[in-house]
C-alpha cells in the first residue's frame, strides 16, 4: 500500500529557463512508495506547470520571498489549514533562505522539509567559491564579487578575457571586454541585486552532477550528466548520463566533508588536461533531475522519505547512456482558469 501524503511544490515555470518543479512532480507521481496529492505553489499566474494536465491537484499563489518571511508564513498557514500539508518542496535558490528561516516553525505545524543548513547554503555561494575551494580542496575558477561599477575598472588587472559575469542567484554571461561587463552588470544587478560575480573563464567540457545527501555525510544518490545541447541562457536542453568515476569520487567526498543535507547540483568543467573545476553549486535539485529518474535513481522520492524521517537505502547504480531532450509544447486552456488564479489566488 502506498502512503498517502500531501506535498506542496514550487518551481512550476517550465519555460526556456525551466524550474525543477515539473520534473520533481513527475518523479513523485512515479513513486512506488507514495500516493501524493500535489499542491502547486506559484509566484506568477502564467507558470506552465499550473495548467499542465496530470501535474498539480490544486494551485495556490504565494508571495515572493522579498515580501518577508511573515507574509510567506501567513500564506502557507492558510494553505495548510485547507490542505493539511505534510511536506513543502522548495525548488528555487532565491526562496530557500526564507524557507530555512521558517523551517522550525513549519515543523511545529507538522510540515516537513529537507533543506541545507544556513551554513551550507552560505558557504557555497558564488561570492564565497574561492574560500569554499580552499576549505574542501577542490579546484575552482578565480572569482571576484563586485558591488558597483567602479570595481569593473580593476578587472583587467586581475583577469584575462573572456570572463563570466554571474548573478548571485541566476544568470551568467560571457564578457570579452570591460564594456560588456558593464552591460551585463547593469542587467544582472537590476534583476538579482549585488554582488555580481566576475569569474575566470575555464575552457573545457561542461559536466553536471545531481546528488542527494542525507545530512550525515552519506550520498544517497548521484548521477552525472554531460550537456548535449545548451540554450543561450546556458541551460541544458539535452543531455546524456555518463560514467565518470572521478566525478563520482569528487561528489561523494564533498558530501562527506560538508555533511550536505538535501539535493544539490554540481556544475563542473573538465579541461583538456583532465582537471575538474567546480564553477557552481546549486543548493537544490536541477531542472534536469528527471533524467536521474530515467537512469534508475528517483531522487525526489528519496528526498521525500528523508524529509519524513524514513530510512533510505543509497542508490548504488544508474544506467549510463540514458538521454533527455526537452521540447516546446503548446497547451490549450481557458481564460476562466487564468482569471480564477488571478482574482482568488487559487485554482
CA-based nearest residue to 100, from 262, 318, 298, 241: 262
Please list, residue by residue across 18-55, b when 16 or more beta carbons sit within 10 angstroms of its beta carbon and e when fewer do. bbbbbbbbbbbeebebbebbbbbbbbebebbbbbbeeb
Does residue 234 contact residue 172 with C-beta atoms inside 8 Å?
Answer: yes
Domains of the chain in start order, with CATH, are 3-114+330-344 (3.40.50.20), 142-200 (3.30.1490.20), 203-325 (3.30.470.20)
**Which element (helix H / strand E) includes 206?**
strand 205-214
Q: What's the pLDDT score for residue 127?
A: 86
Does residue 143 contact residue 126 with C-beta atoms inside 8 Å?
Answer: yes
Q: What's the pLDDT score for residue 218?
A: 98
Starting at the earlier edge strand, list the strands of the sheet with 58-61.
Answer: 58-61, 34-42, 3-9, 87-89
Q: What's the pLDDT score for residue 234?
A: 73
- Please indicate, yes or no, whether the overall pTM of this predicted structure exceeds 0.85: yes
Helices vs strands, H then E, count in the chain:
11, 14
DSSP string computed for 236-277: EEEEEE---HHHHHHHHHHHHHHT-EEEEEEEEEE-TTS-EE
Q: What's the pLDDT score for residue 184?
A: 92
CA-based nearest residue to 163, from 178, 153, 151: 178
Residues of the chain with pLDDT under 70: none
Three cell numbers, residue 269: 568543467
Q: What's the pLDDT score for residue 236?
A: 84
Residue 162: cis peptide before it, omega within 30 degrees of 0: yes
> Cα-flanking dihedrals φ and ψ of residue 289, to 5°?
-60, -25
Does residue 212 contact residue 302 with C-beta atoms inside 8 Å?
Answer: yes
Q: What's the pLDDT score for residue 37?
A: 98
Does residue 48 contact residue 15 with C-beta atoms inside 8 Å?
Answer: yes
Q: Give 112's DSSP letter.
A: B
Amino acid at each position: 500500500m502506498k502512503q498517502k501524503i500531501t506535498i506542496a511544490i514550487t518551481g512550476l515555470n517550465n519555460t526556456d529557463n525551466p524550474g525543477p518543479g515539473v520534473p520533481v512532480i513527475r518523479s513523485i507521481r512515479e513513486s512506488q512508495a507514495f500516493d501524493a496529492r500535489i499542491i502547486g505553489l506559484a509566484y506568477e499566474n502564467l507558470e506552465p506547470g499550473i495548467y499542465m494536465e496530470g501535474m498539480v491537484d490544486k494551485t495556490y499563489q504565494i508571495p515572493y520571498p522579498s515580501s518577508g518571511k511573515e507574509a510567506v508564513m501567513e500564506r502557507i498557514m492558510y494553505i495548510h489549514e485547507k490542505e493539511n500539508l505534510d511536506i513543502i518542496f522548495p525548488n528555487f535558490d532565491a526562496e530557500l533562505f526564507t524557507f530555512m528561516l521558517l523551517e522550525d516553525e513549519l515543523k511545529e505545524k507538522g510540515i516537513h522539509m529537507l533543506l541545507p543548513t544556513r551554513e551550507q547554503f552560505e558557504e557555497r555561494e558564488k561570492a564565497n567559491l574561492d574560500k569554499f575551494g580552499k576549505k574542501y580542496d577542490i579546484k575552482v575558477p578565480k572569482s571576484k564579487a563586485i558591488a558597483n561599477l567602479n570595481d569593473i575598472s580593476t578587472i583587467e588587472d586581475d583577469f584575462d578575457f573572456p570572463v563570466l559575469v554571474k548573478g548571485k542567484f541566476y544568470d551568467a554571461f560571457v564578457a570579452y571586454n570591460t564594456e560588456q561587463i558593464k552591460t551585463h552588470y547593469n542587467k544582472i544587478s537590476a534583476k538579482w541585486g549585488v554582488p555580481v560575480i566576475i569569474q575566470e573563464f575555464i575552457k573545457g567540457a561542461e559536466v553536471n552532477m545531481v546528488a542527494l545527501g542525507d545530512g550525515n555525510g552519506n550520498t544517497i544518490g548521484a548521477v552525472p550528466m554531460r550537456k548535449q545541447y545548451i540554450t543561450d541562457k546556458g541551460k541544458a536542453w539535452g543531455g546524456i548520463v555518463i560514467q565518470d568515476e572521478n566525478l563520482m569520487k569528487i561528489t561523494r567526498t564533498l558530501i562527506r566533508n560538508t555533511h550536505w543535507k538535501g539535493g544539490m547540483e554540481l556544475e563542473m568543467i573538465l579541461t583538456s588536461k583532465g582537471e575538474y573545476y567546480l564553477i557552481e553549486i546549486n543548493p537544490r535539485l536541477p531542472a534536469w533531475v528527471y533524467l536521474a529518474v530515467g537512469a534508475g535513481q528517483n531522487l525526489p522520492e528519496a528526498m521525500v522519505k528523508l524529509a519524513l524521517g524514513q530510512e533510505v537505502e543509497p542508490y548504488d547504480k544508474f544506467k549510463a547512456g540514458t538521454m533527455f531532450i526537452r521540447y516546446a509544447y503548446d497547451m490549450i486552456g481557458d481564460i476562466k482558469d487564468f482569471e480564477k488564479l488571478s482574482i482568488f489566488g487559487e485554482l
